[in-house]
C-alpha cells in the first residue's frame, strides 16, 4: 500500500499544470524522488489528524453522514481529540517537538500529501484520516489512538496490518483505558462499533509524550523498532490525574 501511495504522490507532484498551492513543492518532489529514510532531528514535527464534522447537507456519502426521512443529518460528534488545543499548547513547551494540526480532506489531495511527507509523526484517532500515513517517508511513525473498548482483530486489520506489509512506517498504538476520556462516555462493557461511533477521545499529553520518547529512541530504524518491548500504550485518568500504563 505504501508503494502505491508513493506512486500517486509522485504523479500528483509531477503533473503538468497542477496547481502550486505549496511554495516547497519542489523540495517535496525531491523527497519523493530520493526516498530517504527519516532521521529525527529536533524539533521533530508531529502532525495531528484533525477530523472536522462533514457537511452532510452537501454530500450523502461523506463519512459520518446518515440519510434521514426528510434530509441528511449533520454528524453530531466527529471521531476527534477533545483536547487538541491543550495538546498543541503542551507540545509547544517541549523543545524536542513542533506540533501542528492538519484537517485532511479540507484543502485537497496535494496539500494532504505535503502534510504527510513533512510529518515525522502522525497522530490521530482510528478512522479513514489515518490512511494518509501511507504517504509518509520511510521510518516515520503513525500513532493510532483507539477509543475505549475498540480493540481486537477488527481495528487491527486496517493500518496496523497494512503498515506491517512493507514495514516502511512504524505503527504505535494508544488504547484508551478509561471511559472518562471519551465524550460521550460509553458503557464500561462497550466493544466494537458501540465503543467508537460518534465519540471523541481525550488524549493525555503524558501518554503521548511517552510514545514520542519511544519514537525518538527508534529514530527511524526498523531494527530498533522491532526491538521495543511493546508498541502499545494504555491511557487512563484515575482520581482526575493523568497516568499511563505501558503494556
- The predicted structure's pLDDT at residue 127: 86
- The predicted structure's pLDDT at residue 45: 95
- The predicted structure's pLDDT at residue 55: 55
Please provide the size of the chain in residues. 247
- C-alpha triplet 175, 179, 182: angle, nearest 5°: 80
Per-residue pLDDT tens over the stretch 85-122: 999 999 999 999 999 999 998 888 889 999 999 999 99
Q: Judging by beta carbons within 10 Å of its beta carbon (0-12, 13-18, 19+), is residue 49 exposed, middle or buried?
A: buried
Cα distances (Å, whole numbers) of residue 148 to 48, 151, 194: 19, 8, 10
- The predicted structure's pLDDT at residue 70: 43
Across the chain, which has 247 residues, the per-10-residue mean pLDDT values are 83 65 60 72 91 56 47 48 94 95 89 93 92 92 95 87 86 94 92 86 95 95 94 79 51
Asked if residue 145 lies in contact with residue 201, where contact means CB atoms within 8 angstroms, the answer is: yes
Amino acid at each position: 500500500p505504501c508503494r502505491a501511495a508513493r506512486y500517486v504522490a509522485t504523479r500528483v507532484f509531477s503533473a503538468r499544470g497542477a496547481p502550486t498551492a505549496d511554495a516547497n513543492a519542489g523540495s517535496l518532489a525531491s523527497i519523493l524522488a530520493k526516498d530517504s529514510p527519516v532521521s529525527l532531528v529536533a524539533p521533530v514535527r508531529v502532525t495531528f489528524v484533525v477530523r472536522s464534522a462533514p457537511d452532510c447537507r452537501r454530500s450523502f456519502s461523506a463519512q459520518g453522514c446518515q440519510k434521514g426521512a426528510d434530509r441528511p443529518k449533520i454528524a453530531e460528534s466527529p471521531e476527534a481529540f477533545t483536547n487538541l488545543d491543550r495538546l498543541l499548547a503542551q507540545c509547544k513547551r517541549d523543545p524536542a517537538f513542533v506540533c501542528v494540526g492538519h484537517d485532511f480532506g479540507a484543502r485537497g489531495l496535494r496539500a494532504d500529501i505535503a502534510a504527510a511527507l513533512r510529518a515525522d509523526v502522525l497522530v490521530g484517532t482510528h478512522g479513514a484520516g489515518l490512511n494518509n500515513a501511507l504517504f509518509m517517508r520511510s521510518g516515520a511513525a503513525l500513532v493510532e489512538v483507539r477509543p475505549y473498548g475498540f480493540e481486537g482483530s477488527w481495528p487491527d486489520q486496517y493500518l496496523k496490518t497494512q503498515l506491517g506489509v512493507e514495514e516502511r512506517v512504524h505503527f504505535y498504538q494508544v488504547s484508551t483505558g478509561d471511559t472518562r476520556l471519551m465524550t460521550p462516555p460509553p458503557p464500561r462493557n462497550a466493544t466494537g462499533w458501540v465503543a467508537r461511533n460518534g465519540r471523541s477521545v481525550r488524549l493525555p499529553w503524558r501518554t503521548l509524550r511517552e510514545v514520542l520518547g519511544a519514537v525518538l529512541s527508534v529514530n527511524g530504524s526498523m531494527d530498533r523498532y522491532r526491538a521495543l518491548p511493546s508498541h502499545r500504550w494504555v491511557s487512563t485518568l484515575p482520581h482526575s490525574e493523568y497516568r499511563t500504563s505501558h503494556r
